[in-house]
Amino acid sequence: MKGLAEEAGGAYKEIDEVIESVHNAGISKKVAKLVPIGNVKG
């Protein structure tokens, strides 16, 4: 739980924007939507 409390979710890019960018660039294609539920520092 200590690692969970130390990590700041706001430090990451908006996942929907990243997925849309790589999809539009042809790097990958959308196949499913996953929703992050937490960040753990490892």
What is the predicted pLDDT for the residue at 6?
A: 62
Q: Are 5 and 39 in contact (CB under 8 A)?
A: no
- CA 18 to chain centroid, in Å, comes to 8
Q: For 1-42, how does the pLDDT look when each residue is reduced to its tens digit (9 = 90+)?
A: 555 566 666 777 888 899 899 999 999 999 998 887 877 776
pLDDT at residue 10, as a whole number: 73
Residues 37/9, Cβ–Cβ less than 8 Å: no
Q: In which residue are the tokens 């539009």 written?
A: 24
- The predicted model scores a pTM of 0.53
Q: What is the rounded (10 degree) CA torsion for 24, 32, 35, 23?
A: -10
CB 1 within 8 A of CB 36: no
